[in-house]
Structure 1
Amino acid sequence: MQMKIKLLSFVFLLAGFAAYSQQVPYTNCPNCWLPDSLGNHRVVLEFNGTGKIAKAVINWRRRDNDPQNKRIIVEDGATHQKVVNTKTGTLNREYGEIYFEPVSGKGVYYVYYLPYKNEGRSNYPKGVYLKPENIASADWLKRVLDAGNELPSATVREFQSIDAFNSFYPMEVIATKDETNRLVKTHKADKFLVFPEDRLNSIRMENDLPERWIDRGPQDNFTGEVAKGENFAFQLGIYALQNLDDVKIKFSDLKSAAGQVIKAQNLFCMNTNGVAYDANLLTKTVNVAAGKIQAMWCGIDVPKNAVAATYTGKAILTPKDGPAKEIRLSITVNNIALADGGVNEPWKMTRLKWLNSTMAQQNTVIAPYTPLVVSDHSISLLGRKVELNNDGFPKQIQTFFTPEMTGYSKLPNDLLTEAIHFHFTKMADGKNMTLKNQGIKFTRTEPGTVQWKASSGNDTLQMEVSASMEFDGFIAYTVKVKALQDVDLKDITMHIPFTKDVAKYMMGLGQKGGYRPENFDWKWDVAHKNQDGAWIGNVNAGLQYSLRDEKYVRPLNTNFYLQKPLLLPSSWGNDNKGGIKVSGAGKAVLADNYSGERKLIKGEELYYNFNLLITPFHPVNTDFQWATRFYHAYKPIDTIKEIGASVINIHHATAINPYINYPFIAWKKMKAYDDSAHAEGLKVKIYNTIRELSNHAYETFALRSLGHEIYSPGKGGGFSWLQEHLGDDYIAAWFVPEIKDAAIINSGMNRWHNYYVEGMNWLTQNVGIDGIYLDDVAFDRVTMKRIKRVLTADGHPGIIDLHSANQYNKNDGFNNSANLYMEHFPYLNRLWFGEYFDYEKNSPDFFLTEVSGIPFGLMGEMLQGGGNPWRGMVYGMTNRIPWSDNADPRPIWKVWDDFGMKGSQMIGYWVDANPVKSDNDKVLATVYKKQGRALVSIASWAESDTDIVLNIDWEKLGINPSEATITAPEIKNFQPGKTFGLNEKIHVEKGRGWLLIIK
């Protein structure tokens, strides 16, 4: 494809330069050179002179800064050899002077002007532009100096990019300083200028006008052609000549000559208004500093029943201090009708409307959960119950799950010894201030959400409580404490008094998942630690809580916590005076959440907000674990089916899902693959998270126009494309060298989540995906619920599995993956934890709490080094194919199938009534029980090889010992085949174990 632009070229003389017109094309030349050694851009020169020296003056109009500090490489077009004798004269962003030896005489020569090399880790490269070099011979340099201005010229034939994606044409070819100054001088009476642009020419630069705008000049009209029902987008580019504050856009109705109308409410500007990810209306303030460019992306929802005609109206742009500018809109509606708004052609920006979507926001109950039931002050939900006190806080929390986690118990598990409550301690006498409550009032009772309010107070303090509970066991509390008069307080604390049976394990606040320490003391350190709460519980009853205030913003995670950490809550944190103490003294295990000394001034308000999650969320679905086997690679369907997998996880950087978190470009190939898999009884899920976004997203520059709403601020850098086209102010993320896919970190909770939900719905309905594979999560439970709804709509399976690398490290803020992502667990089908999890050195309680998922109603799998297959089986875990060459799970899968794991009852070692126990407490046994037989998994955490004897309760096992046999089936790379006597000692190697069949 060849594109042309009329450039002003310059012949530079000693005293200055004079302009002349010339047609210089911009072309793309895929595979013509290796970009990693020469860069992505070159100038094609033609030399028709003679001699040893040629001079080229190149009007390259570059958007990058400091061209004089970047290397120039000249190549002989005939031999493709580097020209050694080269020299640069003036080099700036507008033009460059290049001297070179035309070693092959007349012909074509190439000038590469942004050569770079990638340093550092291949998936997180640092694109470094090569510095200038002086390699020309002294003799040749002297010839150049002696020649003066009498040198034959090489003419610019074309500007080339390695491909269209890397091209600067037309929106990144800059205007010169003189051109810009003339434009400003011509319009010195204006406060700003407007340059309307088509949707296909995304405005990309903030600091430079495109040369295209100099040619066209500012405009007061925009014309476009649209289809009926189309989501049409266009741009109004603002160039500020003075500082502009709070720019607003107002649209009139669009009217045809015959009187047909497209209402003004069908037009919008995504830069000023929209709908937030949580369905709240969003109003944004757009300020444009003098000399800056702001793209205002606008849209028209063209009615499906619009009459074909030309409609005219106005877009009125008004800064806070005026004056306004009117842009006449002339939109021609053709006779083409689009049923889907044109979203099948996303390069036309038809999906920008998705940014304001409210799809799946209604909090309908998601299977397997059941509607909330309110009775007096009690709220019942799946497997759990909450009784409220008159002050609005939980008086009691109960779960009804069995220790096996495979069903429900008639007897409740009480989490609390007394109600959750606050203490307000006076400085003067150290006594607790009594607040009289007014009782609770339910303000909303729906199947998915119950809300209530309560008020308590005295003559000094007023406490207003508003809370909501959702069908999955999530409770959000807003607690506003207001001073009615000045008061000195020694402390404000919230006590959560756990029963000791429940408070067996703990995870979070810097504690690795495992047994709860007897006494524990923690202080805030948000600058370094992503810690604001913990999970305390047992396998079948627990509570996660987190401390927040009204300014809470979800931080970044997965290597980027330090770039956007938690905000210290002004209430709980109290200038780092606050903290948490957990102690097991007395009948209760008390979590004392304190905030320390403070003085409240009359009228001052503090928010002691907190969230609760009641665990587990549902029983463990063991049959899903045995039947659902993931395969992680894009391979032929018959190959995967033969291996024995049932679900294919398609990662990015594959033929049908090439670009990270933007699975829309190769969707037709993806659909064909999905259809083939479905025909063979297999399911297909895709990698698609929201933490980072490919630079190949069609909407990249539209999203950049929103400032830091979608993309996080950062120092820039990374792969060359990012530096060359984004400039700066971003965080470079994952990179795939093979396809040059460079991702950018998203900012957190924003409207891209709306797009994400719409996109997943579109893929489910149009491509037939069966779910998603999440590689860590950068969104909250609001988006997760929406995703689960669209994935499971219309009978689709909507399988979600979550992989996480261990988050307990400096870059992730020392959080536990399970603690960090627990709010998502109600909607997951499987865990895969993951890289940097140590399956050899960690204890069984770590496996149980941080890896297995069992205390939350989930099951998991292992990854790092293939995991430990013996220890994994105690929790029903294997690893996945083909992730680890040295730990193929298929031999264990065969044992599952031969034994008939479907329908078995899992009885873990953590269950007191487990019918099979080892006589060594470092060697643990889990039973998978069926009628008349049992599969027993044994794994050792002993420090050396040991011999054990199994203590078997034959009655509980349901097997007659006089007829019983204990057999170890032969399992490749796991165990030899062997038969044991009922009381025979079993030799267990360190870190290993057995799978035994008793029948």
Structure 2
Amino acid sequence: MKKHFFALVFLLSAVGASAQKIPYTNCPGCWLPDSLGNHRVVLTFNGTGKAAKVIIPWRRRDTDPESKRIIIQDAKTGQKITNVKFGQITRESGEISFEPISGVGTYYVYYLPSKNEGRSNYPKGTYLKPEQTASAEWLGEVGSGKAIPAASVKAFQSIDAFNSFYPMEVIATKAETDALVSKHKSEPFIVFPEDRLNSIRMSKDLPQRWIELGEQTKYTGQAARGENFAFQLGIYALQNLQNVKVTFSSLTAPSGKTIPAAALFCINTGGTGYDGKPLIKTVDVNAGTIQALWCGVDVPVGASPATYTGKATISIDGKPAKVVQLAIKVSSKILKDGGVDEPWKMTRLKWLNSTMAQQNTVIAPYTPLEVNNNTISLLGRKVEVNKDGFPKQIQTHFTPEMTGYTTTPNNLLTEAIHFHFINAGGSKMNLKSQGVQFTKKEAGTVQWTATSTNDTLQMQVTASLEFDGFIAYTVKVKALQDVSLKDIAMHIPFKKDYAKYMMGLGQKGGYRPENFEWKWDVSHKNQDGAWVGNVNAGLQYSLRDEKYVRPLNTNFYLQKPLILPSSWGNDNKGGIKIADDGNAVLANNYSGERKLSKGDELYYNFTLLITPFHPINTDFQWATRFYHAYKPIDTIKAVGATVINIHHATAINPNINYPFIAWKSMKAYDDSAHAAGKKVKIYNTIRELSNHAYETFALRSLGHEIYSPGKGGGFSWLQEHIGDDYIAAWFVPEIKDAAIINSGMNRWHNYYVEGMNWLTQNVGIDGIYLDDVAFDRVTMKRVKRVLTKDGHPGIIDLHSANQYNKSDGFNNSANLYMEHFPYLNRLWFGEYFDYEKNDPDFFLTEVSGIPFGLMGEMLQGGGNKWRGMVYGMTNRMPWSDGADPRPIWKVWDDFGMKGTKMIGYWVDDVPVKTNRAKVLATVYKKDGAALVSIASWEDGDTDFQLKIDWKKLGIDPSKATITAPEIKSFQPGKTFGLNDKIPVEKGKGWLLIIK
């Protein structure tokens, strides 16, 4: 056993008595928590005999302690004591008799031993059940009625400070609580002001600390000038409380100088939403429970050193208010940036209400929107708005190769997108439009409205187009009189050339089926729309209503699924049919029959994304080589990588989605990388949040705003300190980092944006690595803005495991995350993507990113390097030898890939083809030479001949050579004649140089 190190903390009584109470101590490394739990009681025995008795006043916050095992250990020998008898075991105390096998000495009582079962990264922490190990002989002696010598409690001990229950999780006894309630029985609630360093953690038990302190009517704190100073007001409800509010007066110094009331805030009662809109929260507190109100004051830099006094008034509907006097002593010290470099002081709570980067300014490479009559132009695309407000035509101007622009437009539609209103008799109900009106014309956003009516229905359309090609429609249909309808449907008539591929609605990415039908099933499927298109022109659309909430994803969809839109879904009568319709491919989005009463309103909202977003940047692909591991800079430099991805669970980024604890080490590493000409990106997303976040309990005080409701469980720390009502997420056993699932769209996104800005400006990160995404495009745009501010590169790559499974709601990763694609630099799709058994159309649509202006890399099983190169994809370092991308990187460098033009097999007039339908060729062309990537999807080994358009290739065939350079683990070196049959193994291919 290691030598104990006790960090003693003594509790003194509220009246100032000097009597020492049982200390709470921490003893890092003194025992193995995986076998004995995180907590123990240290006992001292000075008696004699075969039995000792102790009553431990442990004041436990966990429920049902009598159902959990207790292990007693002899400190001298480390031996487990088997002769143990338990008396009454409650949350307040435990009565235990045991055999002191070493006589006088120290004994340990481990009272929360647990074991982790199931998957190591998603453990199911289980507390061991009580056991009976005492011998009948010993029990007989203990039960003989003889007096048993007493052992005494020396200390309560935790494995480390992070696991400690002291002081805010040491519960008051029932008697203490009852006495307090009796004293205040005529009052609706009691207020306990609390320091920011003592986060209020429990909602159902008062801490013993508050019993000793008693109700306080004054809070005193010390702050620096310029500090974002936080404090708590703990509300203990004696009655049911509705609509708890906190208002503040100005704070005034003796000199008459003031800190205005507007500088004080409470995050629990309101703030600013993730979308920049005002957020008003209703706080209700049930009788017998605790609500922490996290408050703060932004101390002005110009405040004079003095004590500023004022008051906080806590009001409740229909109940008397209470006033807490505030006294903030402001020192002469000035803190930089509000003191956010000391987050353990809760100085970053202000970030929850940040509006940083909310203004919809244009982000490179996009260009300002231009409006000419009813046509809006944006990068590579145009939208013509019809008089009813819907797109009359959507155009793209991207070449089939996706390497540039064309003056000849690609028209997506055969006619305007339009709605059909069909009455019960089957007749179409025509609505007359009053014309479209543009209400906003800005560089980043154009908005318009239109109203169409007849004597029965009114349709009000409000829409906005943003600079990246995202269109949001709010379509309100109102009944002007009672009406029975057979259907309300929206038709999207695609031109066949631009409905070649499809992805979504349960359809795996690939060629669009000739006839497709789909029905709503939100309980099981994260499906509300699809992408239909070709490589250089396409459209994603999603069907929603006014109650749309972004669901959870990545293993947790079923715990917070889509809400069925009452309009489109219509009690599951609605659906989608996509099929050939003459010259068009018609997407018929129908909602089925229904009756509307006069005044009823339905929202047929939908969103559109016009793809692709920009041409592919092939030079970035060839020059930017990711190294996905935390290794010494020299090691990474030696392999030729240019960008380092620092995952979580590493020394400089230990905690998942909270890269603020080891930031000084991260900065030192970043500085070293920059000196070596390398860039560094870090893992940081929002889907879940580490339990090591300093703000964990402040965020818990916000109810379900930040954290999703759930059944709890998981790693022992979560069960012991969070308690219940959460979803346990990713866990790293090596560092005991346990995450909790984020609820979706909330103010943590504001914190996230501020945090990314802080890391960029202060730590020097060059971008982020996203491992699936739990935020929407609003936050993505803000993040891209702060990452690229002041000339920073702001590189973002997105990894996703294949989301097409039960836990993820059978969605396609590319379809799910398409709204983020305009701001990504690379894809990495990912675990569970099968690179062997899927066809080229799947690779193209779901994996490569090319139809959206992106390129990617492979992951699962090392990918298929022959097929990958058809799309310009390799693996990412460092992986196994067979998946090592360096041999291919060397070919790129030797050939000189920079400046080449990529002409994929999907381009009709690609200059090099083969005579085999399932042996495909992509050309990387430059003056006088071409690198041709060949990959086979044939069922077995075969051979092929090249079919070359020498004129398009720009090479004289009489002087041409075809060479296969030797590439380790890829192909042997060889030279072929122009008409040779070239052998190719199943699932493999070639890289050929023609010059």
**TM-score grouping bracket, smaller chain normalisation:** over 0.9
Decide whether the 8 Å contact of 2:57 with 2:94 is kept in 1. yes
Decide whether the 8 Å contact of 2:923 with 2:930 is kept in 1. yes
- Displacement of 1:7 in angstroms is 8.1
CA distance in 1, matches of 2:605, 2:537: 23
Q: What are the within-5 Å matches in structure 2 for residues 466-615 of structure 1? A: 466-615=462-611
Match of 1:219 among 208, 216, 219: 216
The corresponding residue for 1:623 is 619
Decide whether the 8 Å contact of 2:504 with 2:529 is kept in 1. yes
CA distance in 2, matches of 1:318, 1:3: 39
Match of 2:47 among 38, 46, 49: 49
The corresponding residue for 1:459 is 455
Post-superposition Cα deviations, 1:26-53, rounded to whole Å, max 9, x if no partner, equal: 0000000000000000000000001110
CA distance in 1, matches of 2:699, 2:904: 49
Decide whether the 8 Å contact of 2:37 with 2:112 is kept in 1. yes
Q: Give the counterpart letter for 1:942 in structure 2.
A: E
CA distance in 2, matches of 1:542, 1:331: 59
| 1:652 maps to 2:648 | yes
| 1:845 maps to 2:841 | yes
SS in 2 for 1:886: helix
Deviates more, 1:137-146 or 1:345-354: 137-146
- Displacement of 1:886 in angstroms is 3.1
Match of 2:9 among 4, 11, 20: 4
- Displacement of 1:884 in angstroms is 4.2
| 1:668 maps to 2:664 | yes
Deviates more, 1:577-586 or 1:884-893: 884-893
| 1:373 maps to 2:378 | no
Match of 1:161 among 136, 155, 158: 158
Q: Give the counterpart letter for 1:475 in structure 2.
A: I
Post-superposition Cα deviations, 1:166-207, rounded to whole Å, max 9, x if no partner, equal: 000000000000000000001111110000000000000000
Q: What are the within-5 Å matches in structure 2 for residues 50-65 of structure 1? A: 50-65=48-63
Match of 2:135 among 123, 137, 146: 137
Q: Give the counterpart letter for 2:842 in structure 1.
A: F
| 1:716 maps to 2:721 | no
SS in 2 for 1:75: strand
The corresponding residue for 2:773 is 777
Q: Give the counterpart letter for 2:920 in structure 1.
A: L
- Displacement of 1:21 in angstroms is 6.7
Match of 2:294 among 297, 314, 319: 297
Q: What are the within-5 Å matches in structure 2 for residues 742-753 of structure 1? A: 742-753=738-749
Match of 1:680 among 667, 670, 676: 676
Match of 1:957 among 953, 959, 965: 953
Decide whether the 8 Å contact of 1:235 with 1:295 is kept in 2. yes
Q: Give the counterpart letter for 1:327 in structure 2.
A: V
Decide whether the 8 Å contact of 1:927 with 1:934 is kept in 2. yes
Q: TM-score, normalised by structure 2?
A: 0.99
- Displacement of 1:6 in angstroms is 3.6
Identity of aligned residues (%): 79
Q: Give the counterpart letter for 2:309 in structure 1.
A: T
Q: Give the counterpart letter for 1:237 in structure 2.
A: G
Decide whether the 8 Å contact of 1:865 with 1:884 is kept in 2. no
CA distance in 2, matches of 1:680, 1:231: 37
Match of 1:420 among 406, 417, 428: 417
CA distance in 2, matches of 1:626, 1:485: 63
- Say if 1:652 and 1:89 are closer, same or farther in 2 by CA, change over 3 A: same
CA distance in 2, matches of 1:605, 1:963: 73
CA distance in 2, matches of 1:152, 1:885: 68
The corresponding residue for 2:886 is 890
- Displacement of 1:339 in angstroms is 2.2
Q: Give the counterpart letter for 1:694 in structure 2.
A: S
Q: What are the within-5 Å matches in structure 2 for residues 757-772 of structure 1? A: 757-772=753-768
The corresponding residue for 2:321 is 324
CA distance in 1, matches of 2:750, 2:361: 17
What root-mean-square deviation, in Å, do the aligned CA atoms of Structure 1 and Structure 2 show?
A: 1.1
The corresponding residue for 1:11 is none
Q: Give the counterpart letter for 1:34 in structure 2.
A: L
- Displacement of 1:883 in angstroms is 3.7
- Displacement of 1:262 in angstroms is 0.4
Q: Give the counterpart letter for 1:962 in structure 2.
A: S
Q: What are the within-5 Å matches in structure 2 for residues 427-442 of structure 1? A: 427-428=424-425, 430-442=426-438
SS in 1 for 2:861: helix
Post-superposition Cα deviations, 1:231-266, rounded to whole Å, max 9, x if no partner, equal: 000000000000000011110010111100100000
Decide whether the 8 Å contact of 1:423 with 1:494 is kept in 2. yes
| 1:933 maps to 2:929 | yes
SS in 2 for 1:956: helix
| 1:350 maps to 2:355 | no
- Displacement of 1:833 in angstroms is 0.1
Decide whether the 8 Å contact of 2:11 with 2:20 is kept in 1. yes
Post-superposition Cα deviations, 1:53-106, rounded to whole Å, max 9, x if no partner, equal: 011110000000011000010111101111111121110000001111111110
Q: Give the counterpart letter for 1:723 in structure 2.
A: Q
- Displacement of 1:135 in angstroms is 1.0
Match of 1:202 among 184, 199, 213: 199
The corresponding residue for 1:899 is 895
CA distance in 2, matches of 1:666, 1:29: 23
- Displacement of 1:4 in angstroms is 3.0
The corresponding residue for 1:16 is none
CA distance in 1, matches of 2:975, 2:11: 86
The corresponding residue for 1:15 is none
Match of 2:687 among 657, 670, 691: 691
The corresponding residue for 2:3 is none
Q: TM-score, normalised by structure 1?
A: 0.98
Structure 1: runs of 5+ lacking an equivalent: 9-19
CA distance in 2, matches of 1:142, 1:127: 36
CA distance in 2, matches of 1:355, 1:152: 56
CA distance in 1, matches of 2:145, 2:977: 100
Q: Give the counterpart letter for 2:67 in structure 1.
A: N
CA distance in 2, matches of 1:367, 1:87: 72
- Displacement of 1:5 in angstroms is 4.0
Post-superposition Cα deviations, 1:116-147, rounded to whole Å, max 9, x if no partner, equal: 00000000000000000111111111111114
The corresponding residue for 1:96 is 94
Q: Give the counterpart letter for 1:2 in structure 2.
A: A
- Say if 1:885 and 1:171 are closer, same or farther in 2 by CA, change over 3 A: farther
- Displacement of 1:398 in angstroms is 0.2
Q: Give the counterpart letter for 1:124 in structure 2.
A: Y
Decide whether the 8 Å contact of 2:10 with 2:20 is kept in 1. no
CA distance in 2, matches of 1:865, 1:103: 56
The corresponding residue for 1:174 is 171
Paired residue total: 988
Q: Give the counterpart letter for 1:56 in structure 2.
A: V
Decide whether the 8 Å contact of 1:2 with 1:25 is kept in 2. no
Structure 2: runs of 5+ lacking an equivalent: 1-5
CA distance in 2, matches of 1:306, 1:936: 69
The corresponding residue for 2:263 is 266
SS in 2 for 1:467: strand
Post-superposition Cα deviations, 1:893-943, rounded to whole Å, max 9, x if no partner, equal: 100000000100000000011000010010000000011000000000000
SS in 1 for 2:602: strand
CA distance in 2, matches of 1:527, 1:588: 33
SS in 1 for 2:744: coil
Match of 2:727 among 722, 725, 731: 731
SS in 1 for 2:23: strand
Post-superposition Cα deviations, 1:836-886, rounded to whole Å, max 9, x if no partner, equal: 000000000000000000000000000000000000000000011114453
SS in 1 for 2:867: helix
CA distance in 2, matches of 1:823, 1:359: 20
Q: What are the within-5 Å matches in structure 2 for residues 748-827 of structure 1? A: 748-827=744-823
- Displacement of 1:313 in angstroms is 0.4
The corresponding residue for 1:309 is 306
Decide whether the 8 Å contact of 1:38 with 1:112 is kept in 2. yes
Decide whether the 8 Å contact of 1:63 with 1:93 is kept in 2. yes
CA distance in 1, matches of 2:993, 2:144: 93
Decide whether the 8 Å contact of 2:501 with 2:511 is kept in 1. yes
| 1:281 maps to 2:278 | yes
CA distance in 2, matches of 1:386, 1:457: 24
Match of 1:361 among 358, 363, 368: 358
Q: Give the counterpart letter for 1:514 in structure 2.
A: G
CA distance in 2, matches of 1:552, 1:72: 49
CA distance in 1, matches of 2:642, 2:452: 56
